[in-house]
Amino acid sequence: MLTAISPIDGRYADKTRELSHYFSEYALIRYRVLVEIQYLLALFQIPLPPLADVQQADFDALERLTNRFDEQAAERIKAIERITNHDVKAVEYYLKEMLESLGLDRYQEFVHFGLTSQDVNNTAVPLATKHAMEQVYYPQLQQLIGQIEGMAAAWADIPMLARTHGQPASPTLLGKEFQVFQTRLISQLRQLQQIPHSAKFGGATGNFNAHVVAFPEINWQEFAHDFVTNQLGLERTFPTTQIEPYDNLAALCHALSRINTILIDLCRDIWTYISMDYFKQQVVAGEVGSSAMPHKVNPIDFENAEGNLGIANALFQHLAEKLPISRLQRDLTDSTVLRNLGVPFAHTLIAFQSISKGLRKLQLHEAKLEQDLEQNWMVVAEGIQTVLRREGYPQPYEALKALTRGKATVTQQDIHAFIQSLQVSDAVKAELRNITPHNYTGRQ
């Protein structure tokens, strides 16, 4: 949309649309309605004495309320909110209207029974987040990891000059360098998947005061554990104040941020490889690289991804630092901050898609890799001096240092002349002459 303030809902709307099912205002209202209805159904199942006459048809009617929820229903709740100036209370009043329309008005006062708004918010938000992770985030990250894995396999045997501190270093294998990122991402993904989606459910200050005073014979703690764990599929935090302490959500944000940081590292490395001419980029017909320089094919996908990952991380870090802090039993600062939870997810998905697009455009320029290896024969010095150490040769490191350090060029001829001058056996000399920048890559 051209008038959108945020590029998430404007320029990049097609890349983030899936997240609107979980993090939009509509989604938050829908998940609140879901929690309220599931809670009422759970009260039916106790059963509480005033609800003893509940019929299967009543259950079915309430389930249909959840399934029929649409934007028109959400608009009705927003209309009520304009009067109440309270978003969760508006959901309660809407559901009471629905019960009345279904002829179930005898149950109206058990909607939101004994709850505070945070019992609804702190179950609705983690439930929506859990579903967003399962349905959107994990599939896209796993697809990206699979793409990196494919490149690691395809280039497993391609030797490449390594650079440590930006200087030529012992050669590596291009595929292994991609495998490094694949392994890091898989490791962090496993850690991410171990973090629980936690929810609070316990009344105005976490003690079920209202529930206990109304029905002291019910074990409300047991009820809450069963409701949150078995019916909603979340992990209940206990004890709490009025709100979920958000420690696990903070851990989730930190884990997401670490994955993004790994991807920033990947983007910068690939950007550098492109600048070194190790990769060409597939030319897209009609695409312009520069408004002034017609020859340019810029690594824009990796630059776009890096920028979006940076924005996402800034927000994830703020969420992780802010949400676990609340004055005494509750202040409202978490509410407005939490409404932005979908924003870093959106920037992250934009980045995933940009990286994936950029990877698909990479074309290996193998001749350039071979050329760089051939021009940097000094990198075999490490291998030569290590073999000489094995042979007990005196001060091999110092001998190779004198030959190679600070030299503009060290050629194959220089290396072989040095080898010929060594006081070692012909067999060792032959072994040393077999070491080249193209095969000195270790074993994987």
Active site residues: 165, 290
For residue 53, what is the DSSP state?
T
Place of tokens 């991804």: 305
- Asked if 188 and 199 touch (Cβ cutoff 8 Å), the reply is no
Q: Dihedral, CA atoms, 31, 35, 40, 42, nearest 10 degrees?
A: 140
Torsion 287-293-295-301 (CA) sign: negative
Amino acid at 76: R
Give strand pairing partners of 363: 280
* Beta-carbon contacts of residue 442 (< 8 Å; ≥ 6 apart): 170, 172
Amino acid at 148: I
- Asked if 296 and 289 touch (Cβ cutoff 8 Å), the reply is yes
Of 178, 176, 157, 199, the closest CA to residue 31 belongs to 199
Diameter of the chain measured on Cα atoms? 102
Distance CA 40, CA 380 (A): 73
Task: Return the H-helix or E-strand segment holding 364.
Answer: strand 362-364
Distance CA 214, CA 427 (A): 93
Torsion 141-139-355-349 (CA) sign: negative
Kindly write down the DSSP assignment for every residue of 393-418, as one continuous string.
Answer: -SSHHHHHHHHHTT-S---HHHHHHH
Angle at 121 between CA 7 and CA 343, to 5 degrees: 15
Distance CA 156, CA 176 (A): 6
Distance CA 354, CA 356 (A): 5
Pairing, β 198-199 against β 235-236: parallel
Distance CA 28, CA 58 (A): 25
Helix 412-421 and helix 396-404, axial crossing angle in degrees, nearest 10: 150
Torsion 63-64-67-68 (CA) sign: negative
Tell me if the bond preceding 47 is cis, omega within 30° of 0: yes
